[in-house]
Amino acid sequence: MAKVRVAGFGVSLDGFGAGIEQSLENPLGKRGPDVFQWFFPTKTFRAMRGQEGGSTGVDDQFAQRAMENFGAFILGRNMFGPVRGPWPDDSWKGWWGPNPPYHAPTFVLTHYEREPLVMEGGTTFYFVSGGIEEALKLAKQAAGDKDVKIGGGVSTVRQYLQAGLIDSLHLAVSPVVLGQGEALYAGLDLPALGYSVSEHQATERATHIVLTRG
* 15 closest CA partner among 132, 171, 192: 171
Q: Is the pLDDT of residue 20 over 90?
A: no
The tens digit of pLDDT for each residue in 91-148 reads 999 999 999 989 999 999 999 999 999 999 999 999 999 999 999 999 999 999 999 9
CA–CA distance, 214 with 212 (Å, rounded to integer):
6
* Contacting residues for 109 by C-beta, under 8 A, at least 6 apart: 74, 75, 76, 77, 128, 131, 132, 135, 156
Residue 178 CB: number of other CB atoms within 10 A? 24
**Tens digit of pLDDT for each residue in 32-89?**
899 999 999 999 999 988 899 999 999 999 999 999 999 999 999 999 998 889 999 9
| pLDDT at residue 21 tops 90 | no
CATH of 4-17+27-83+99-213, one of 3.10.580.10, 3.40.430.10, 3.40.50.1000, 3.20.20.10: 3.40.430.10
Instruction: Please give the Cα distance from 187 to 95 (Å, whole number).
Output: 30
Show me where the domains of the chain are located. 4-17+27-83+99-213
- In angstroms, the CA 143 to CA 8 distance is 19
Spatial contact of 184 and 154, defined as CB atoms under 8 Å apart: yes
Q: What is the DSSP annotation of 33-78?
A: GGGGTTTTTBHHHHHHTT----B-SHHHHHHHHTTSSEEEEEE-HH
